[in-house]
Amino acid sequence: LAKTTQPISMDSYEGQEVNITCSHNNIATNDYITWYQQFPSQGPRFIIQGYKTKVTNEVASLFIPADRKSSTLSLPRVSLSDTAVYYCLVNTDKLIFGTGTRLQVFP
Amino acid sequence: GAGVSQTPSNKVTEKGKYVELRCDPISGHTALYWYRQSLGQGPEFLIYFQGTGAADDSGLPNDRFFAVRPEGSVSTLKIQRTERGDSAVYLCASSQGLLRDNEQFFGPGTRLTVL
């Protein structure tokens, strides 16, 4: 199973762009890369998913280099409400969560 | 439409007791997943169903844990002879299918406390 590695925590300020990088050296050909967000006392919430190159939606962008051994979640102009834990996962038929990155956004 | 719901939201029990946790998935979702989350950790996979059958139960920690989904919709996670180490938030998720690009929708979880 592909294991992911990401920073334990990050700090930012409102209005800044935040980039969280995740490594997944053992990713398989058919695996997707998925990011989830989790607030306290809630279940994780899907943010974005990709297979290669770049994916963008209304809340984030996901950059995946050609070798797919890493990926970067980009959150443009974060706000206080983006304070949460962010999980990078390699999506096989089940989700294997790591400990995630705890993002703290300051005013 | 309604999301994934889980009942109860909180459950306090005594060591050695039996508990049942219920999950109502999003209507029409064929895949259903159970995870367990301890404080400060990411969710840990337990089991998932495709329809009525358990497609992968490799995450169940031991034979005290069992889950069913008899009609392919609602699922119940059953824990026998609870231990203090079973205390955690139990999360349920559902998705449209088992394809690797299917988004999983999570419920709010059931917080289980074993005294």
DSSP per-residue codes, B38-105: -TTS--EEEEEEETTEEEE-TT--STTEEEE-TTSS-EEEEE-S--GGG-EEEEEEEES-S-TTPPPE
Distance CA A31, CA A2 (A): 9
**Cα angle A3, B55, B15; round to 5:** 80
Alpha carbon B24 to its chain's center? 10
pLDDT in tens, A8-27: 999 999 999 999 999 988 88
A65: its two tokens: 């280099």
Select from A45, A93, A98 the Cβ nearest to the Cβ of B42: A98
3-state secondary structure of B15: coil
pLDDT in tens, B22-44: 999 999 999 999 999 999 899 99
pLDDT for A27: 85
Nearest chain B alpha carbon to A97: B42
Residue A26 makes CB contacts below 8 A (sequence gap 6+) with A1, A2, A3
pLDDT in tens, B78-88: 999 999 999 99
Q: Which of residues 35-74 of B touch A (CB under 8 A)?
A: 35, 40-45, 48, 55-56, 59
pLDDT for B100: 64
Q: What is the largest CA-CA distance in chain A?
A: 41
Q: Is A1 a residue whose pLDDT tops 90?
A: no
Stronger pLDDT, A98 or B42, i.e. the higher one = B42
Q: How many residues does chain A have?
A: 107
3-state secondary structure of B5: strand
